[in-house]
Structure 1
Amino acid sequence: MGLAGRHALAVFLLLASPALLAQSRYNLQPPATGIAAQIYDMHTLMLLICLFIFVIVFGVMFWAVVHHRKSKGAIAAHFHENTAVEIAWTVIPVLILLGMAWPATKTVLEMKDTRDPDITIKATGYQWKWGYDYLQGEGQGIRFVSNLSTSREQIDGKTAKGEHYLVEVDNPVVVPVGKKIRVLTTAADVIHAWWLPAFGVKQDAIPGFIRDAWFRADKEGIYRGNCAELCGKDHGFMPIEVHVVSQEAYGKWVAEQQAAMAAAASAGAREWTLAELVEHGAKVYAANCVACHQADGKGLPPAFPPLDGSKVVLGEVAGQIAVVLNGRPGTPMAAFGALLSEADIAAVITYTRNSWSNKTDEAVQPAQIAAAKGK
């Protein structure tokens, strides 16, 4: 084999080796589920088929150009309607397409088979965060909001970017290894998409509709994805982070979450001081409100009005509570009544009424939020 032939073989083997492909920064993420492995293999197969067709077609074309050029005295042939050629160039592409469609159809059907899950999680898209509810299986009843945890200083270029810049969250999804996880997707405002490449999952989250997908992670680890639908100004700031852990570690996480929810419930039953509310409210505001209303409370008018000096914030407490609980239809203002605890909502309202130039000295208690909810 000549030097050119050896080089061609090396390139082919490089493309054909999934292990080497997995290490490439220009390829799909290494698969962590059976479905993702099938997608990965199909991607490699389709690429090789396209490469083979490219080499054959352009090889014949360039051979014809070189060997039938005018300088060699070639005289163009004159012929029309070759039945054998027409049959060949119809049948061969059909066979190629059928060969590509068969494994693709099998994989798509398997992707849609969400029956008999071990755990069911609802993922709700908001501008710009994800809310998760564990609806079935171990951990049922757990719910939390997952926000981008990359600091504003990194985003604004004031500090060096971290290793997981824009793909890290404060509350990741946690699931046990080897279990079938069904994910129900929906949205509260606009269309989002729950996309986790390593799991082979990409499902739109559409307001008013429930879509579903599933995965079964084969190995423990941390896997990251993003919202894959252009959903507004902070579309790039709503990542997805899933931790796949052992069954034992998952049991501990479930216990911790249940304890935290119980603590949040008890926090909603006590009286808070103004200082406590403002301190806690600052954290809630940073996690849920700062993207739209900004750290200085000036907002980004007209889409995101300022809270500093706002008539709503400085007006009757009941009016602001209603806005935070129920949102504003037709605007990006989400309803936080189902997202945050009574204590969190009371704290963030108190924070906005006592920050920047707002100095009401009013403390909104969790009991007032519970009363507004009708509890």
Structure 2
Amino acid sequence: MRFLTAIVLTWICASTSAFAFDVPVDGAWGLQPAVTPIMERITEFHTLLLWIIIPITLFVMALLIWVMVRYNSKSNPVPSKNSHNTLLEVVWTALPVVILIAISVFSFPLLYYQEEIPDADFTIKATGNQWNWTYEYPDQGAMEYMSIMVPEDEIQPGQYRNLSVDYPLVVPVNATVRLQVTATDVIHNFAMPAFGTKIDAIPGRINEAWFQVTEEGAYYGQCSELCGQGHAFMPIEIRVVSQDTFDAWIAAEPGTDESNAVIAAYEAARDTRLAQLD
């Protein structure tokens, strides 16, 4: 029975891509749908690892069951006197090495792709504080603004508990964005699962990453470093819009009610268009 249960759980793990969600959902399995080239490659690498890990898990499980049945004291009252098997020792040492080399062939290019920042359309600076984020668009000359989680008793329809913020980050679709991350007090972590972005925010140091979002929409992340009692309440919300809407948002001064109105008007018009297509 335990063996069958293990097989079912393994199959569920192998099927995680079918159960992905845009936002965290209770009881959900798997990665969020990829919306950047980085996350697409991470998802492909994750699938590759599943094809490697699942057969290994099944083989080891079958081997354990065989050993317990074949070599228990009842079935094998006279134990073997052999202390080692040279061929077997060579195989179980060499085979993991070969597997790790095969994994590295795919993982190193992915790490390089993440770290090598291409020519960016513009830069965003994100600063972690206890316990909120401040954002700045230096290339657009926009002033720094603070992004704070919406309190649970103020959540509006379409917003998410512990994920929605008062003033989100906004980027244009298909733009290559250089992300600079730092902190003012303790170590934080800027994590956006759908982007494949997860980078430490360290006081006195600037770390860099990049992303290029290929689908418009709202995406959510959180600080992924244990940074104090308010750690669970400093989410990240990014709205991906058209270039014209982004330009209008910048003109309305990020971090103001006027800039939020620009995004709200854009999303209302988009929803209307989608409803007409349906």
> What's the CA shift for 1:120?
0.6
Query: Counterpart amino acid of 2:123?
Result: T
Q: 1:92 aligns with which of 86, 89, 95?
A: 95
Per-residue Cα deviation, 1:242-264 (whole angstroms, up to 9, x for no partner) = 011122222222222279799xx
Q: Note if 1:229 corresponds to 2:225.
A: yes
Q: Aligned runs of 1:123-134 on 2, under 5 Å?
A: 123-134=126-137
The answer for the alignment partner of 1:242 in structure 2 is: 238
The answer to which structure has the higher strand fraction is: 2
Q: 2:114 aligns with which of 101, 111, 114?
A: 111
CA contact (8 A) 1:148 1:167 kept: no
> What's the CA shift for 1:104?
1.6
Per-residue Cα deviation, 1:22-46 (whole angstroms, up to 9, x for no partner) = 2571222222112112222323333
SS at structure 2 position matched to 1:79: coil
Identity %: 37
Query: Counterpart amino acid of 1:196?
Result: M
CA contact (8 A) 2:16 2:30 kept: no
The answer for the alignment partner of 1:27 in structure 2 is: 30
The answer for the alignment partner of 2:186 in structure 1 is: 190
CA contact (8 A) 2:137 2:144 kept: no
Query: Counterpart amino acid of 1:59?
Result: A
The answer for the alignment partner of 1:148 in structure 2 is: 148
Separation of aligned partners in 2, 1:199 and 1:230 = 21
> What's the CA shift for 1:132?
1.1
Structure 2 vs 1, CA of residues 67 and 35 (structure 1 numbering), >3 Å: closer, same or farther? same
CA contact (8 A) 1:14 1:20 kept: no
Query: Counterpart amino acid of 2:148?
Result: L
CA RMSD of aligned residues (A): 3.1
Q: Note if 1:80 corresponds to 2:83.
A: yes
> What's the CA shift for 1:233?
2.5
The answer for the alignment partner of 1:336 in structure 2 is: none
Q: Note if 1:215 corresponds to 2:211.
A: yes
> What's the CA shift for 1:160?
10
Structure 2 vs 1, CA of residues 149 and 22 (structure 1 numbering), >3 Å: closer, same or farther? closer
Runs of 5+ consecutive residues of structure 2 not aligned to the other structure: 22-26, 259-278
Structure 2 vs 1, CA of residues 259 and 184 (structure 1 numbering), >3 Å: closer, same or farther? closer
SS at structure 2 position matched to 1:166: coil
Q: Aligned runs of 1:42-57 on 2, under 5 Å?
A: 42-57=45-60
Query: Counterpart amino acid of 1:189?
Result: D
Q: 1:172 aligns with which of 158, 168, 171?
A: 168
The answer for the alignment partner of 2:43 in structure 1 is: 40
Separation of aligned partners in 1, 2:10 and 2:152 = 45
Per-residue Cα deviation, 1:128-174 (whole angstroms, up to 9, x for no partner) = 221111123xxx111342333423646xxxx9998501111111111
Query: Counterpart amino acid of 2:91?
Result: A
Higher RCO, Cα 8 Å, sep 6+:
2
The alignment's TM-score, normalised by the length of structure 1, stands at 0.59
CA contact (8 A) 1:14 1:21 kept: no
Separation of aligned partners in 2, 1:192 and 1:203 = 9
Q: 2:252 aligns with which of 252, 256, 262?
A: 256
Runs of 5+ consecutive residues of structure 1 not aligned to the other structure: 263-375
SS at structure 2 position matched to 1:184: strand
The answer for the alignment partner of 1:343 in structure 2 is: none
Q: Which has the larger radius of gyration?
A: 1
Structure 2 vs 1, CA of residues 72 and 189 (structure 1 numbering), >3 Å: closer, same or farther? closer
SS at structure 2 position matched to 1:131: strand
Per-residue Cα deviation, 1:154-199 (whole angstroms, up to 9, x for no partner) = 6xxxx99985011111111111111111100111222211111111
> What's the CA shift for 1:19?
4.0
Separation of aligned partners in 1, 2:20 and 2:46 = 12
CA contact (8 A) 1:35 1:199 kept: yes
Per-residue Cα deviation, 1:193-231 (whole angstroms, up to 9, x for no partner) = 111111111111111111100111121111111111222
CA contact (8 A) 2:133 2:148 kept: no
Separation of aligned partners in 2, 1:16 and 1:58 = 17
The alignment's TM-score, normalised by the length of structure 2, stands at 0.78
